[in-house]
Amino acid sequence: MLRAKAFRADLWRWMILWHNGGIYMDAKMAFTTPADSWIDFENEEFIIGLDYQMKELLDNALIVLTKHHPYGLMMIQ
């Protein structure tokens, strides 16, 4: 059982993205240019943010995922 609310929120986020596909970004973020100017929706399948301070760590503040992508399922499992 997931106890911390943050863990439950992360699981919910991945489940919704896996089921529907789409873009998730934290409320503290904002686009300064249209998403289709930097995301190739025809060819991109999975994009996740990189922590700008710790360059080797992934950051789930921005996730772009196509519907039923295997990485999404992997994160749910």
- Read off the pLDDT of residues 38-76 as tens digits, 9 standing for 90 and up: 888 778 788 777 766 666 667 778 888 999 999 889 989
Residue 2 CA to residue 47 CA, distance in Å, equals 25
* Within a domain: 17: no
Residue 35 CA to residue 9 CA, distance in Å, equals 24
* Within a domain: 75: yes
* Within a domain: 68: yes
* Within a domain: 7: no
* Within a domain: 19: no
* Within a domain: 15: no
Considering its fold, how many domains does the chain have in total?
A: 1
pLDDT computed for residue 2 by the predictor = 61
Minimal CA–CA distance to 63: which of 20, 31, 26?
Answer: 26
The domain containing residue 42 runs over which residues? 24-29+37-77
Using the 8-state DSSP alphabet, how is residue 55 labeled?
A: T
* Within a domain: 8: no
Task: Report pTM.
Answer: 0.76
pLDDT confidence tier of residue 18, bands split at 50, 70 and 90? very high
* Within a domain: 18: no
